[in-house]
Chain A
Amino acid sequence: MSADFTAQSTPPPVVQVRDMDFSYGASKALFDINLKVQYHRVTALIGPSGCGKSTLLRCINRMNDRVLSARVTKGEVLVKGKNIYDADVDLTQLRKQVGMVFQKSNPFPKSIYENVAYGLRIHGEKNKSVLDEAVERSLTHAALWEELKDRLHANALALSGGQQQRLCIARAIATVPDVLLMDEPCSALDPISTLKIEELMHQLAKEFTVVIVTHNMQQAVRVSDYTAFLHLGKLVEFAPTEELFTNPREKLTEAYLRGTFS
């Protein structure tokens, strides 16, 4: 670690994937992935369907654990310097540090307030004023406070699709994670809602580190600082977004960006 430090002269990455192989049973899904995610930056993962970008994202908070045969077969994933696949890692704490927002908005069938407070409640927070404060802060971050402050106890399922997705973001950031993973958060939304969430992402990057999977290259350009391009389970190129889109080093990247294949 210390060698990395001096060599790069940048702060240590919050997430670092090192030489990682990942497989579902016998079929290998990811090959030898190396990725560094920097603090307070938005990192986008792009690539054609089935290239493993969602799998890679889910490796960072071990959501793949639920798939019985899924294994990291080589290498490691470090979050704040700790390999999260070590036996002594507490999954509950890991997921408190690494929040996640899903492709389709999935608020619980509870009130708006309870949705946001859920993360804190399961981590044992009972103090009403702490919860109130966290709900207000999270909803403000998710640009929902002004819209919803008068009906915090309405059912979350009564909200519009875009509001629901922003509520899910608020719920994910209520526990103040270091990293926020977003798995195609806008793919089910209309353009206006998408715009709102993209605006939100710039704000969020001030407080959190964001890793976003997207199939929309324009979105990657608009929101991200770094972009990783994956193809068939391999990380083809990882570079600052501007550089990757204007001056790709790899032929494959260039071909993908030009739309020769998808």
Chain B
Amino acid sequence: MNSLPTPSRPPLRSVLLRSRKHTILGFDPQKLIKYFFGSNASVAIIVLVLIMVFLLREGIDFLPTYQRELQTYRRAGLEFCDIIDQPLQKNQTLSSSLRQALSASLETLSKTARDRRDAAFLLKRQVEDKSARPRESLAQALEKAPQDPGQIDVLRRELGAATAAAVKAVDYPELFTQAEREQLEREFAALTPEVTDLPPMLQTLVEDFNVKDREAKTKFADLVTAQEEFEEAAEPLQEVLDELKAKALETKEKAVEFEVLETNRQRLLEAAATESDPKEKASLTKEAEESVAETVNLEESIKEITGRTAELREQVEKYAVVIEKAAADLPKDAGTGAARKLVNDVREGIPVHAREMRAAAAKLEDWHWDKPVSIFSVMGAFFFGTQWITNSSWQDFFGFVPLLTGSLVIAAIAILIATPVSVVAAIYTNQFASEREKELIKPVIEFIQAIPSVVLGFIGISLVGNLIKDVSEWSWLQWVPGFPIQERLNMFNAGCLLAFMAVPTMFSLSEDALNNVPRAYIDASDALGATKLQTVFRVIVPAGISGILSAILLGLGRVVGETMVVLLVAGNRIAIPDFSAGPGVIFQPAHTLTGIIAQELGEVSRGSSHWQALFMVGIVLFAISLLVNWCARAVARRFEPHKA
């Protein structure tokens, strides 16, 4: 041991001094590498900050812009007209329900007759279509000036054969008796280009229907009158309102024009003030002078409108009285089935509508044209506004609620579907699957992420939409709320596809969470005699619950931010879904926060209020995503069992 030579030590001074051998531009290369890596990491943070700054810069001006617009809306008197006009929209809805009820009622008597008539006409057209070519040739031959009897005969025989074959080939529905069928066949076989009258059988069928229809109209006479009364009731009121609206719109246009020219003038004057070249300065000043618009005397215009308040109120009162009378005239429990329900709805709806109209009329008195629009009411109009109306000749409204509801309902559907699927799949894969199954399941589910969302959109439009619609028409599924559905493209469809898209994220993260449950917990449970299922549900899932919850939240983040699928599949109707339909609401179309940006941002002029409104939507979307992600992290921390 002692024989080993001790290596000579360097002198102390040189050990402690920093080596100065390798420096690049005066920097230690180690430090340079560190800075390089650090700067790459910070790029992400910088980009995120830039995105926020950019969104805010474009979007934050929205509130003052919208405030100005709403101010004009009020001062020009548009708001005044809307006080009456908005509730009056209800008239259309009620009226259309009534029309539906009426036609449904009439159908109870005339449906068979109409079906027989329509079926006979359809058969006739089918027969004619099948023998179209010889028929056409014969018609041409007959029209020729010198007729060729020989050729006509040949063509007649050909047509006869073709018609006979066609008559045999078409399907006769059950609506006709054997005798009627034979008669139809005979009459169809006799169809030649010279016959212009309807075949006698068809004439009878048409007459049958007319008789039935008249009968039905007599039977439901009170419903017919009520419907007509109701429809006519709004006309005088609408006339007065239309006059006022025209006036208001005119004022608004003038005001807007004035504002544009005035802004322009200010800008020119500013430019002139800073311009040093006297020639240029003079031309700018001249231009500014020319830009003067006729000042709009808002007060005078508004007086023309508010001056007719009394007349308007009177009309509203008259209208309310008339419709209430119509409601009283409506037969109670008229018609059958769907019609009865519609009529009853209208009966109950009309008094409510009348009350709303009267309330609106009372509000007219409290309205002042020069009441300022506060910034809080503008925020309210954006965040709680129920209308998103753009490019309107009347007034644009940027109300956020319809879009938010659409996004939230779709996200809720997607999460409700995706959560059980992905969590159960994760539990199976992690705990029960054999190695070979794992090798199959995991890549397949993760592959879903690679499907471009636009392709999923195709599938949604062509496949899922039709599938849902077809299924909704199965008679034994009619107990499902909302069935049969009206629209192929709806929130449920979008929700299904988004669920499919969220599954990979949620599956992988849940699986990781289960995988991270310490082996020791499973050992302990096994050693106590627990079965596999008991271990999974009493130990592994509870221990991994924080990870699973955070997986669900991150899936939610993915779903809320997804654009392409919802744009293609959600139906894009900008209206708050009708929640009175109960759970069936999910089969209605809607628009979303993401979809509206993608759809409209390309079409609006830069810097307009619409452009700014879309940026506001972007800001809110960004905030929602941040919130969801933050929640996911918070949940992961909150439920994490503290390490021993």
Interface on A for B, CB 8 Å cutoff? 61, 63, 66, 91-96, 99-100, 102, 104-110, 118-119, 121-123, 155, 157-159, 161, 164, 168, 171-172, 175
**Closest A residue to B530 using CB positions:** A122
Closest B residue to A121 by CB, please name it.
Answer: B538
The answer for the CA separation of A49 and B529 in the assembled complex, in Å, is 28
CB distance from B517 to the nearest CB of A (A): 9
Measured in the bound complex, the distance between the Cα atoms of B641 and A43 in whole Å is: 36
- For A171, the chain B residues whose CB sits under 8 A away are 524, 528
User: Which 9 pairs across A and B sit closest by C-beta, in order of nearness?
Assistant: A109-B641, A95-B529, A106-B520, A100-B527, A92-B529, A119-B528, A122-B530, A106-B524, A96-B529
Complex CA gap A104/B519 in Å reads 11
The residue on B at minimum CB distance from A115 is B524
**Would B644 and A175 count as touching, CB distance under 8 A?**
no
- Within the complex, what minimum Cβ distance (angstroms) separates A203 from chain B? 21
Task: Assess whether A102 is in contact with B523, with CB atoms less than 8 Å apart.
Answer: yes
Given the complex, which residues of A lie within 8 Å of B529, measured CB to CB? 91-96, 119, 122-123, 175
Q: Which residue of A lies closest to B641 (CB)?
A: A109
SS class, residues of chain B in contact with chain A: helix
Q: Pick the contact of A118 from B520, B523, B531, B538 — CB < 8 Å?
A: B538
Q: Is B543 on the interface with A (CB-CB < 8 A)?
A: yes
A122 contacts across to B, CB distance below 8 A: 525, 528-531, 534, 538
Please tell me if B526 contacts chain A, counting CB pairs below 8 Å: yes
A158 touches B527 (CB 8 A): no
Give A66's nearest chain B residue, CB to CB: B526
| Distance, CA A155 to CA B280, complexed state (A) | 82
Whether the Cβ atoms of B643 and A157 lie closer than 8 Å is: yes
Q: In the complex, are the beta carbons of A95 and B526 less than 8 A apart?
A: yes
Tally inter-chain residue pairs, CB-CB below 8 A. Answer: 74
Contacting pair A106 B642 (CB below 8 A): no
Residues facing A in B387-438 (CB within 8 A) are none
B residues 495-553 touching A (CB-CB < 8 Å): 518, 520-521, 523-531, 534, 538-539, 542-543
Closest to B518 in A: A106
A106 contact set on B, CB distance < 8 A: 518, 520-521, 523-524
Q: How far is the CA of A157 from the CA of B521 in the complex (A)?
A: 12
Question: Is B641 a contact partner of A157 (Cβ separation < 8 A)?
Answer: yes
Nearest opposing residue in chain B for A100, CB measure = B527
Q: Are B527 and A63 in contact (CB under 8 A)?
A: yes
Residue of B nearest to A119 (CB): B528
Known: A106-B518, A106-B523, A109-B543. A157 touches B528 (CB 8 A): no
List A contacts of B641 (CB < 8 A). Answer: 109, 155, 157
Give per-residue flags for B109-141: 1 if the beta carbon is below 8 A from chain A beta carbons, else 0: 000000000000000000000000000000000
| Distance between Cα atoms of A108 and B543 in the complex (Å) | 8
Smallest Cβ-Cβ distance to B539: which chain A residue: A108
By a CB distance below 8 angstroms, the chain B residues around A99 are 527-528
Within 8 A of A (CB), among B66-87: none
A96 to B539, CA, bound (A): 18
Tell me which residues across on chain B come within 8 A of A172, comparing CB atoms: 527-528
Residue with the highest number of chain B CB atoms closer than 10 Å, among A63, A99, A106? A106
Known: A108-B539, A110-B542. A168 touches B524 (CB 8 A): yes
Given contacts A92-B531, A122-B534, contact A102 B526 (CB under 8 A): no
CB-defined A-B contacts under 8 Å, sample of 27: A61-B527, A91-B529, A95-B526, A95-B527, A96-B528, A99-B528, A100-B527, A102-B523, A102-B527, A104-B520, A105-B644, A106-B518, A106-B520, A106-B521, A106-B523, A108-B524, A108-B543, A109-B543, A110-B542, A118-B528, A118-B530, A121-B538, A155-B641, A155-B642, A157-B644, A161-B644, A172-B528
Closest B residue by C-beta to A95? B529
Complexed CA–CA distance, A95 and B111 (Å): 75
Identify 6 new A-B residue pairs, CB closer than 8 A, beyond the known A104-B520, A106-B520, A107-B524.
A96-B529, A105-B644, A118-B530, A121-B538, A155-B641, A159-B644
Q: Give chain B nearest CB distance to A123 CB in angstroms.
A: 7
Residues in B with CB closer than 8 Å to A121 are 538
Q: Which residue of B lies closest to A92 (CB)?
A: B529
A157–B527 CB distance below 8 A = no
A193 to B643, CA, bound (A): 19
* Residues of A contacting B643 in the complex (Cβ-Cβ under 8 angstroms): 157
Q: Which residue of B lies closest to A97 (CB)?
A: B529
Question: Inside 8 A of B538's CB, which chain A residues have their CB?
Answer: 118, 121-122
Q: A106-B518, A108-B543, A157-B641 are in contact. Are A63 and B526 (CB under 8 A)?
A: yes
Q: Name the distance in Å between A117's Cβ and chain B's nearest Cβ.
A: 11
* Distance from B523 Cβ to chain A, minimum over Cβ atoms (Å): 6
Q: How far is the CA of A161 from the CA of B539 in the complex (A)?
A: 20
Which of B520, B524, B529 neighbours the largest number of chain A CB atoms within 10 Å of its CB?
A: B529
